[in-house]
Amino acid sequence: MSEDSHPFERFLRDGMMPHIWCEGCGNGIILNCFVRALKDIEIDVNKVVVVSGIGCIGRLSGYTNTDSYHTTHGRAIAFATGAKLANPELKTVVISGDGDLFAIGGNHFIHAARRNVDIQVICANNFNYGMTGGQYGPTTPLKAWTTTTPYGNIEHPFNLVHLAAASGAVYVARWTTLHVRRLTESIKKVLQKEGFSFIEVITPCPEIYGRRNKMATGIEMMNWFKTAAEIRNASDPAEAEISPEKIVVGEFIDAEKPTYDHLLREMMKQVQERIRGEK
Amino acid sequence: MPLRLWRKPLDSEKIKIPEGEVHVLKDRCKGCGFCIEFCPKEVLEQSEEFNIKGVHPPQVKEETVCILCSFCEAVCPDFAIFSVKKDCKGGC
Ligand SMILES: Cc1ncc(C[n+]2csc(CCOP(=O)(O)OP(=O)(O)O)c2C)c(N)n1
Ligand code: SF4
Ligand SMILES: [Mg+2]
């Protein structure tokens, strides 16, 4: 055994490791799978931009050795849409939290999916607002305990994969941070796909969420994923439940549809030609 | 597929299971224990020593059984462990 350099070092921004995430937090696994995907498909990292919003997972954009935007809370998709329209050459990947993307940023999400903007969205769903102290949010399961639901949550959570599919996403998958291989394969796929793609990653937040829900360590949360996960590829995302007993994972949708960027450029060309013709 | 339908792969004689060598970047480890818990071959265990962060990094318990699946490398949130193909020049 020797102390040498990690094979993914060149995909991580110089001097940024160790990251800020807690012991047993799954965000590092998402970063790990993402950089492995970059490496595996040998993509030109100068053509990749990682965009994140605010939250623990939002720090990810500062760790990848790509161009990146760490944007304002809830606005990652808006910034990514701008970047993509300004420079269609870019692979624009949004990696952000459940709170960021689906509470404050919910409208950006559904409309970017509806328009089929060619961006790839990876959501780290840890069932709460980790960074600000564990408040409940739009993905907190019914009855779960958080700092702001001390008697248990009485709100029903979003089913993110159903929401993405219903909003028009052309690729929809859900994995947990234990499904490292399948998650990496999904990321590789969306990095090579055109159109609004969505991957939900169920990830442990033992420090802030797990501790209050009888899973005080990352290992306990990962073992919950291990026993509860059921792979159901191509099944109806509306039925993809998340409960203490069952977490339905898989690739639900993989379709094709003209992208907003493509239609926009086509229309601009037509209009310009018409104007020139009339002169 | 139900277990009873499993067959021995036709090329199983020809395939040589690779042997891996695990490297730990001790001071990066935050001690989550994922590599130890989820290694399918139980190659790793917690060490007695403390690293710079005051946690016990993993150490290799039984390297000869490592099959280079690299699951430890993939599941580590801290880029603190990786595996490479064993250098068998001097014989394994
Ligand atoms: C406009 C605005 N409102 C509220 C906040 C406070 N805030 C920071 S992070 C966060 C929630 C993050 O939750 P999530 O996106 O799930 O990320 P996590 O920390 O769980 O990874 C909130 C509400 C803020 N930074 N800006
Ligand atoms: S608070 Fe939760 S999400 Fe944030 S770094 Fe810690 S474990 Fe991860
Ligand atoms: Mg969250």
Residue among A221, A171, A162 at smallest CA distance from A25: A221
Q: Which atom of ligand 2 is nearest to the CA of A218?
A: 7
The CATH architecture assigned to A9-278 reads 3-Layer(aba) Sandwich (3.40)
Residue among A82, A119, A118 at smallest CA distance from A259: A118
Compare B8 and A134 and report the one with higher pLDDT.
A134
How does pLDDT run across B65-90, given as a tens digit for each residue?
A: 999 999 999 999 999 999 999 877 66
Instruction: Examine the pLDDT at B3 and tell me if it is beyond 80.
Output: no
How far is CA B82 from each of CA A33, B21, B54, B60, B65, rounded to the nearest angstrom? 13, 8, 21, 12, 16
Mutate-to-test residue for ligand 2 from A31, A56, A219, highest number of ligand atoms within 8 A of CB:
A56
pLDDT at position A2 is: 45
Over residues B28-48, the mean pLDDT reads 97
Q: What percent of chain B has pLDDT over 70?
A: 92
**What's the rounded Cα separation, in Å, for the pair A236 and A156?**
19
pLDDT at position B1 is: 59
pLDDT at position A4 is: 79
The residue ranges of every structural domain in chain B are 18-85
- The mean pLDDT value of chain B amounts to 91
How far is CA A168 from each of CA A84, A105, A176, A186, B12, rounded to the nearest angstrom? 18, 17, 23, 18, 45
Give the pLDDT means over successive 10-residue stretches in chain A (279 positions): 78 95 98 98 97 98 97 98 96 98 98 98 98 98 98 98 98 98 98 98 98 98 98 98 97 98 96 88
Give B-chain residues touching A26 at CB under 8 angstroms: 77
ipTM above 0.90? yes
pLDDT at position B90 is: 62
The residue ranges of every structural domain in chain A are 9-278
Tell if the CB–CB gap between A219 and B82 is shorter than 8 Å: no
Tokens of A122: 């990876």
Q: Which ligand is nearest to the CA of A22?
A: 2
At the topology level of CATH, where does B18-85 sit?
Alpha-Beta Plaits (3.30.70)
Q: Which atom of ligand 2 is nearest to the CA of A97?
A: 3
- What is the identity of the amino acid at A249? V
For A144-238, where are the E strands, in sequence order? 171-176, 197-202, 229-231
The per-residue DSSP string of B10-58 comes to TTTTTPPPP-EEEEE-GGG-----HHHHH-TT--EEE-SS--TTSS--E
In the beta sheet, which residues pair with residue A247?
A: A229, A242
Q: Is A41 on the interface with B (CB under 8 A)?
A: no
Considering the entire predicted model, what is its pTM?
0.95
Q: Is B22 on the interface with A (CB under 8 A)?
A: yes
A257 Cβ neighbours under 8 A, 6+ residues apart: A116, A168, A170, A195
Q: What percent of chain B has pLDDT over 90?
A: 70
